[in-house]
Amino acid sequence: MLLPQEVIRKKREGHELSSEEIAYFVKGITSGDMSDSQIAALAMAVFFQGMSNAETVSLTQSMTKSGDTIDWSELRDSGPVLDKHSTGGVGDKLSLMLAPIIAACGGYVPMISGRGLGHTGGTLDKLDAIPGYQTSIDIDRLKSITKTAGCAIVGQTGDLAPADKRFYAIRDITATVEAIPLITASILSKKLSAGLDRLVMDIKVGSGAFSNTLTMAEELAETIVSVANGAGLPTRALITDMDQVLGSSAGNALEVKEAWSYLSGEKKEVRTDTITMSLCAELLILGGLAKTHDDAQHKIMAVLSNGKALEQFQKMITGLGGPTDFCEKPDSYLKSAKYCEDIYLDRSGYLSAMDTREIGMAVVALGGGRSKPGQEIDHAVGFDRIVPLGTPVDSGIPVARIHANSSDQLERAKTQYLNGLTVADKAPDQASPILKLIEN
């Protein structure tokens, strides 16, 4: 007979848990038979002792089986079911561009996304800036919208990997979020329950990322790719730079506008374009929609230039309750802040470094993120016209523009933003934001 305390003790002592022990524990998490303290104890044991690849695969599969799994068999003759997941960062609005691009290229993208955590923005919070857009829907509607619009970016339903939802909530308040096996199982259980054919991971590394060293990012990427493939989901991972804000904006409505600008061809920030094109290309190749990177890039550029990607974005917005003419006049629907002001440095030189986490926290200070669970956020606030590293600056050149609904918040966030910048006498070396590709 299995006992929770014996499973915890075994992992605490550094021994490998069997698939039966893991399945037993996950079943208890889902049913409520495991107490919060027992779940927290196992999480802490894993945090210190780790898990083997086999254990992590078992945990992922058990958490996947804790709820429903979506069946996309009716779509498979039309195209592959694909997805991208990011470990999060500041200004990361790539999902808003990637999903409609992949849909325009013939894939189906049912993307289960999350809300902001700490200094990182959440895709669902960005989409909440679009009036009427519904991020909370049931599985039947997710399938319907994905089939008709080609993509649907929504939140996790209670029926998909419910064990993960409870496990994560307990990890979040017991300082065990950073355990790589638990991160891996949390991400992949949701992706496997979504019934995907292929997955590409965007593992961020740098001052604005969960992984602040390349070694840590590589370990996470290699674990996720290995476990995903072991669980039957072909997966690749790109390790990408998060040592500066991604794109030219940080803040929910502002990032939606930047995503629209990219899809409409109005504006493309170089680093955002590089990472978006790379992630989309990997997905198209994995999904059999392109043979080579050149072929993939040609297809991506085609749907951007002929308007099909923007059309898919509008179809998704309309299908999920948003305005039917959002892409014709986004400024009519996205809220604007009361105060809008350029930010200047008091010294000259080259922008050489950025404390990206500090800038993310400045968005939170404006009200654009949460300092406690369930907090209402202000979708209008944040920063745009953010200049990238390497830009020559002086007291007459704005480094960003701040949007705020309170003069006090504006001044605090402006100071916080400027404190996150470093200026040097010479420009820093400019490297590609794509640091590494992790395959099988």
The residues annotated as belonging to the active site are: 83-86, 123, 171, 186, 190-191
Residue 150: how many CA atoms within 13 Å on its side-chain side? 20
| Parallel/antiparallel/unpaired status of strands 349-354 and 421-424 | antiparallel
Question: Is residue 19 packed enough to be buried (19+ CB in 10 Å), middle (13-18) or exposed (0-12)?
Answer: middle
CB atoms within 10 A of CB 297: 16
DSSP three-state, residue 158: coil
Give all strands of the β-sheet with 349-354 in edge-to-edge order. Answer: 392-393, 349-354, 421-424
CB atoms within 10 A of CB 270: 11
Question: Is residue 236 packed enough to be buried (19+ CB in 10 Å), middle (13-18) or exposed (0-12)?
Answer: buried
Helix ranges, 36-116 (H): 36-49, 53-64, 94-104
d(CA 62, CA 66): 6
Question: Is residue 32 packed enough to be buried (19+ CB in 10 Å), middle (13-18) or exposed (0-12)?
Answer: exposed
Radius of gyration of the chain (CA): 22
d(CA 233, CA 192): 7
Q: Which residues contact 13 (CB under 8 A, 6 or more apart)?
A: 49
Q: Which residues contact 261 (CB under 8 A, 6 or more apart)?
A: 267, 268
Judge contact between 93 and 255, C-beta under 8 A: yes
DSSP three-state, residue 424: strand
Nearest to 154 by CA among 374, 314, 321, 275: 321
Judge contact between 195 and 70, C-beta under 8 A: yes
Q: Which residues contact 31 (CB under 8 A, 6 or more apart)?
A: none
d(CA 123, CA 94): 9
Judge contact between 340 and 407, C-beta under 8 A: no
d(CA 176, CA 168): 9
Q: Degrees (nearest 5) of the Cα angle 108, 114, 120?
A: 120
